[in-house]
């Protein structure tokens, strides 16, 4: 909360930040629920950009906002207060636990059994993905990157569009100090999650500015995103016995789209910069 409040105070008005309480604090404790607190923000009648997309002006404004955040020089002020990118692939260990559990699940027609079968069928692809991501991580740790404040998961699903066309960057629950590529993985020649069209990439550079983008860092962050997402799908489908089959089948289909031939995992490295 301190970070988004600081960005807002610096004039970045597309960041949805908490409002100050009467005691000038960003949040207030809930005395009836020890350990919990509440924060207030503006109410915006809006929709997520993933529903309708962004028009050219919104794209440019979004990327201008991101460029401003990356260049505000807040790194020293928040050093030690938010996570720093280490390129150690933090989600890999959990992902390997998911893969191990899938081996013991018998064949069947339910979502759990089918996801386990998918993991076994695509095991060589999955292990190659993990090996490649780890190799890139080792390589990137030796590069003296300039780290900036990154949102960490900036994509259309985390952009709100108001009725007046104004955009808002939301869900700042995982900010980190990282190379700027951490916030660019969905927008520069991307085939992960959705394909970025040439016109959209043009809008991006018009707003963000023409800066050098490191291919290896971009590919690493895309691998990291997929490993985390596939691992979370495994957690939900393989380990959660309380959900009905309908939402589990939806998650299964997402895993299939990641791991199938020609899916996201296979096109991660198709980057032209």
Please state, in angstroms and rounded to a whole number, the distance separating the CA atoms of residues 84 and 75. 10
Segment 167-172 mean pLDDT: 89
State phi, psi for 88 to the nearest 5 degrees.
-100, 10
Residues 6+ apart with CB under 8 A from 60: 203, 206, 207
Indicate the range of 45-54, 85-94, 189-198 predicted with least confidence.
Answer: 189-198
**Radius of gyration for the chain, computed over Cα atoms and rounded to the nearest angstrom:** 20
Categorize the per-residue pLDDT at 210 as very low, low, confident or very high, splitting at 50, 70 and 90. low
Please state, in angstroms and rounded to a whole number, the distance separating the CA atoms of residues 7 and 138. 32
Categorize the per-residue pLDDT at 192 as very low, low, confident or very high, splitting at 50, 70 and 90. very low
Residues 6+ apart with CB under 8 A from 117: 107
Segment 32-51 mean pLDDT: 72
Please choose, from the candidates 169, 164, 150, 183, the residue with its C-alpha nearest in 3D space to the C-alpha of residue 14.
169
Categorize the per-residue pLDDT at 17 as very low, low, confident or very high, splitting at 50, 70 and 90. confident
- End-to-end CA gap in the chain: 35
Q: Identify the structural domains of the chain with CATH numbers, from first to last.
A: 1-43 (no CATH), 44-267 (1.10.510.10)
Please state, in angstroms and rounded to a whole number, the distance separating the CA atoms of residues 207 and 142. 30
Please choose, from the candidates 121, 83, 115, 116, the residue with its C-alpha nearest in 3D space to the C-alpha of residue 102.
116
């Amino acid at each position: 909360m301190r970070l988004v409040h600081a960005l807002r105070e610096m004039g970045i008005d597309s960041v949805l930040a908490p409002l100050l309480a009467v005691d000038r604090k960003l949040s207030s404790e809930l005395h009836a629920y020890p350990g919990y607190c509440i924060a207030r923000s503006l109410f915006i009648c809006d929709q997520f950009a993933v529903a309708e997309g962004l028009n050219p002006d919104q794209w440019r404004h979004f990327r201008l906002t991101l460029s401003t955040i990356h260049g505000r020089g807040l790194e020293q002020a928040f050093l030690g207060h938010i996570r720093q990118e280490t390129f150690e692939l933090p989600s890999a260990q959990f992902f390997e636990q998911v893969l191990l559990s899938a081996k013991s699940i018998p064949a069947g027609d339910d979502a759990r059994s089918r996801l386990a079968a998918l993991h076994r069928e695509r095991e060589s692809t999955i292990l190659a993905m993990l090996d490649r991501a780890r190799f890139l991580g080792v390589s990137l740790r030796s590069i003296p990157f300039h780290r900036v404040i990154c949102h960490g998961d900036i994509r259309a699903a985390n952009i709100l569009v108001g009725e007046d066309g104004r955009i808002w960057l939301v869900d700042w629950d995982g900010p980190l100090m990282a190379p700027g590529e951490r916030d660019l993985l969905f927008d520069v020649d991307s085939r992960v999650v959705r394909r970025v069209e040439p016109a959209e990439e043009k809008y991006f550079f018009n707003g963000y500015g023409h800066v050098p983008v490191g291919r290896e860092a971009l590919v690493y962050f895309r691998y990291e995103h997929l490993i985390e997402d596939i691992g979370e799908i495994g957690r939900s489908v393989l380990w959660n016995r309380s959900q009905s089959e309908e939402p589990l089948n939806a998650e299964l289909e997402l895993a299939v789209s990641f791991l199938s031939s020609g899916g996201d995992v296979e096109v991660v490295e198709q980057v032209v910069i």
